[in-house]
Each structure stands twice: as structure tokens, then as C-alpha cells.
Structure 1
């Protein structure tokens, strides 16, 4: 599945900001593999003294941001699975700020978060490899908007790139 095959209506407008960070000719599985490796290597390069840093008191630390990415990927994988299995009900949204406040990320070690990200993404890859092209295109409803598993896959990769840019520009 190539990113350029995505159509308007497969995901809400907000999420195209993440998807558009990916090249049009990008293959979904290869994108997730490459993104996992590149993002993990980027995280491993962050100096230890920066993981607790906040560039403003109300902003998340890098520890919290990586926990947010992990939580979000788990939720998006669940949504993709539900849609691929023809779930008819609408899936609820989630408040990422509440999740971060209740994550205890500040008690985590950077190496553990990096390893957890890799494991969650490995699970994601197995999930997406199991989907046929037909299953990737099934439209479901999440947070009162339509979505397909294939759009969700590209969102996850773009979401990591979004946060990599924030970390690079505001934290390092």
C-alpha cells in the first residue's frame, strides 16, 4: 500500500498534517520499519540531561512525550484492528493530556521507553502485515470521524516525525 493511494475521506482533515510528512511514494510497511529505526536512533542520541527538560513549565518533558507516542500508537493500533475486523461501533476519542498526566513517565528510564517504543512498533508491524489490501481500506469511525487502517498506519509514522521535529527544535 502506497501513501499516494490514500483518498480524502479516509481520515479527518486534522490527521493529514501527520500523513503529509510521509513521501507520496512511500510503502506503508517499509515506512513503519524505517520510521521505527530512525526514530529509535534519534531517541538514543538525546543527551541524558535533556529527558526531563521542559522548554516551558506547561509543556511535556521528553519522557512524557515518548510515553504519549507509545500510548497513542497502542490506541491507533487498536482502532486499526477494530476497523479491519469490521467493528460497526464508533470508537471513542481520548484526551492525550490526561493520559500524560497519569502516565508516571517521569519515573521511567529513557532506555526503557525507547525499548517499549520498539516493541509497540514491532507489534504494529505484525498487525499491519496481517492485513490484506481489502482490510486496510475498511472504513470505521473513531472520535466521530471516518478512518481506515491504512490511513492510521501513516498517521503513526507521521506522528513520530512530528514529535522528532518538536524535540529537535525546542528541546535540543
Structure 2
């Protein structure tokens, strides 16, 4: 699947994520992003990953968990719509998910293992889709959404968090530098 979704295939609030997704084969983009995310985070110590750049902001561990949970939810939405299920899908409250998951109590290694497993599952799902599946539309969080837009949203969402990690976490004067 190469064709980008039109603006009618997703809620307007996802436009910023869409702009972050480069041109290219969607499955190849997912594979490359998995390599980038793994390379970015795999050398972190648990101490570094407990860092939050400000009060009431997530720790790096919570960001990793949030990326994984969001992809789980978006992949479920993608699967549901791709299979022609017209059941309206609910939204989710990301802060509640992060709070309930207790990601800060997990190791970086376990969080990255979950991330990689979810990403591998998402890639396998995308590789199983036929051309007609990509353009199917359904309702998610009260908005019309297409299968291909959900794939782009996942990629853009993760790229958005890469930018935040670089700009607000790793660039912070208080970030613990003892990287191994």
C-alpha cells in the first residue's frame, strides 16, 4: 500500500501526525521505525528511563509503554475495520492507561520486548491485507477512519514521540547522562 489517506479518512486532529510520515511503502516504514525506536531506547538504563523532563510529565518508561499500548489499540481498530466489522470503536484515555499499567515498575528490557512483539504483530497484520482492505472505513472514537489512515496515524504518533524524546527528554539539562 503506497497511497496516503485523504483528509476525509481521519479526524482533523491527526493531521500533524500525518505530516510526519515520509513517503514510501507502509510496511517498510513500520520496519524501519521499529529499528529506529529500538536503537533510540535499547541502551537506556532503568535509571535514565525513569526520567521525566517536568513535573506531571511521563517518564521515558511511560512513553515506551504508551507507544506500545497505543499501537495495540490502533492495530485492533485497524483489524476490526479491515475485516468489515461496522461496530463503532471506543476512544481511550491515554493518561489512565499509563497510570494503570505501572510502566515505571517494569524494566526497559521488558518494555522494549513488549514494544517489539506488538510491532511484529502489527507488521504481520499489515502484510496480510489486500488492496480493498486498506480503503475500508469504520467508526473509531466517534469519527470515520480508514484502515490506511490508522496505519499512518500509528507511524506519525510514534515519530511525534521520537521528536519529544529528543527535544524534551534527551536534550534536558537534567537528563541523567550515564548511558551505558
Q: TM-score per shorter chain, which class?
A: over 0.9
1:10–1:146 CA contact under 8 A, matched in 2 = yes
Deviations 1:93-135 (A, max 9, x none): 0000100110110110001111111110000001011111100
Could you state the TM-score of these two structures normalised by the residue count of structure 2? Answer: 0.90
Query: Equivalent residues in 2 for 1:1-172 (5 A)?
Result: 1-3=1-3, 5-23=4-22, 25-172=23-170
Structure 2 Cα separation of the partners of residues 131 and 148 of structure 1: 13
Q: Which runs of 5+ in 1 are unaligned?
A: none
**Aligned positions, number:** 170
Q: Which runs of 5+ in 2 are unaligned?
A: 171-180
2:45–2:108 CA contact under 8 A, matched in 1 = no
Structure 1 Cα separation of the partners of residues 24 and 41 of structure 2: 23
Structure 2 Cα separation of the partners of residues 122 and 16 of structure 1: 26
Q: 1:102 is paired with a residue of what secondary structure? A: helix
Structure 2 Cα separation of the partners of residues 6 and 79 of structure 1: 16
Q: 2:92 is paired with a residue of what secondary structure? A: coil
RMSD: 1.2
Structure 2 Cα separation of the partners of residues 136 and 84 of structure 1: 7
1:50–1:171 CA contact under 8 A, matched in 2 = no
Structure 2 Cα separation of the partners of residues 47 and 89 of structure 1: 42
Structure 1 Cα separation of the partners of residues 73 and 126 of structure 2: 14
